[in-house]
Amino acid sequence: MWIGVVTLFPEMLRAVTDYGVTGRAIAQGRLQVNCWNPREFTEDRHRTVDDRPYGGGPGMLMKIDPLQKAIVTAKQSALARDGKTKSVPKVIYLSPQGKRLDQAGVNYLAELESMVLVAGRYEGVDERLIEAEVDEEWSIGDFVLSGGEIPAMALIDAVARMLPGTLGHEDSAIEDSFFSGLLDCPHYTRPEVFQDRQVPDVLLGGNHEKIRQWRLKQALGRTWGRRPDLLEHLTLTSEMKRLLDEYIREYSV
């Protein structure tokens, strides 16, 4: 997948390009992340990228022209890159006004061939830039950050995990609880006893079917207890219903 990021702080993207699963996906050529800085597209001596808002009010906005030039250049670069004919990259703006990102949204974005992520700064961008250049607006949560770079990197990380060959254990993304719409089950590793707390016996046994059922039951029970709203959107199999009933009965004793 090819991802362009329009940002005033391209160095921030090293957090995903130089480390971990995302860094490996890039090193192995399964992911490309390129940055374009609106400041490189300014034409004035002071390289101005912000301006005052019409109607007054606190703070500054990002100027349309440098931002638009950076976006257009990123899109052209995606189309010009070697290889088979390509679709026009989807332009995505990160903001609290966007559609709330969840695993279903990540799975949708992971299917795209390319995208340009626009990371704003200051108080945001001119609405006309959004109308002219942005295809989709996404939010990683109902809170305000000082820039769109961290949301952009969160999106890159979440999408990169879904690319074929990224995760060592292929179906670990599939097994990912959120992939199934449930919260994750508890996890344990050595030592077997920590501060008098034992690892559940079933996990030490080696009976993989019992372990699968225990993990599914815990995921269902934790979802029921912590995020019942997630359960509302799920169709439970008869096995899931049985396991959740067991969990609730044990929980209620």
Ligand X SMILES: NC(=O)c1ccc(N[C@@H]2CC[C@@H](O)C2)nc1
The residues binding ligand X (CB under 6 A) are 94-96, 120-121, 124-125, 139-141, 143-145, 147-148, 151
For ligand X, give the closer residue by CB, 54 or 143: 143
Q: Which two tokens stand for residue 166?
A: 């990224």
The answer to whether 123 is a known catalytic residue is: yes
Q: Which two tokens stand for residue 38?
A: 């609106």
How many residues would you count in the chain? 253
- In whole angstroms, the minimum distance from the beta carbon of 62 to ligand X comes to 7
For ligand X, give the closer residue by CB, 8 or 160: 8
- In whole angstroms, the minimum distance from the beta carbon of 137 to ligand X comes to 9
For β-strands 136-139 and 32-36, DSSP reports them as unpaired
The answer to whether 96 is a known catalytic residue is: yes
The response to whether 109 counts as a known ligand-binding position is: no
For ligand X, give the closer residue by CB, 144 or 193: 144
The answer to whether 176 is a known catalytic residue is: yes
For ligand X, give the closer residue by CB, 39 or 222: 39
The response to whether 142 counts as a known ligand-binding position is: yes
- In whole angstroms, the minimum distance from the beta carbon of 15 to ligand X comes to 16
Burial of residue 192 (number of CB atoms within 10 Å: 0-12, 13-18, 19+):
exposed
- In whole angstroms, the minimum distance from the beta carbon of 129 to ligand X comes to 10
- From 50, 51, 65, 123, the catalytic residue: 123
SS3 210: helix
Q: Estimate to the nearest angstrom the gap between the alpha carbon of 137 and the chain centroid.
A: 13
The response to whether 143 counts as a known ligand-binding position is: yes
- In whole angstroms, the minimum distance from the beta carbon of 6 to ligand X comes to 11
Geometric angle at alpha carbon 30, from 27 and 32, rounded to 5°: 75
- From 10, 151, 161, 215, the catalytic residue: 161
The response to whether 88 counts as a known ligand-binding position is: no
Give the C-alpha distances (Å, rounded to integers) separating 146 from 11, 185, 229: 16, 33, 30
Give the C-alpha distances (Å, rounded to integers) separating 30 from 37, 112, 150, 213, 217: 24, 13, 21, 34, 35
The response to whether 144 counts as a known ligand-binding position is: yes
- From 50, 96, 136, 184, the catalytic residue: 96
The response to whether 231 counts as a known ligand-binding position is: no
Work out whether the CA dihedral 19, 114, 47, 119 comes out positive or negative.
Answer: negative
For ligand X, give the closer residue by CB, 105 or 221: 105
Give the C-alpha distances (Å, rounded to integers) separating 87 from 1, 54, 68, 212: 12, 36, 19, 41
From the annotation, which residues make up the binding site? 120, 140-145
Tell me which residues are annotated as active site.
Answer: 96, 123, 161, 176
Annotated binding site for S-adenosyl-L-methionine: 120, 140-145
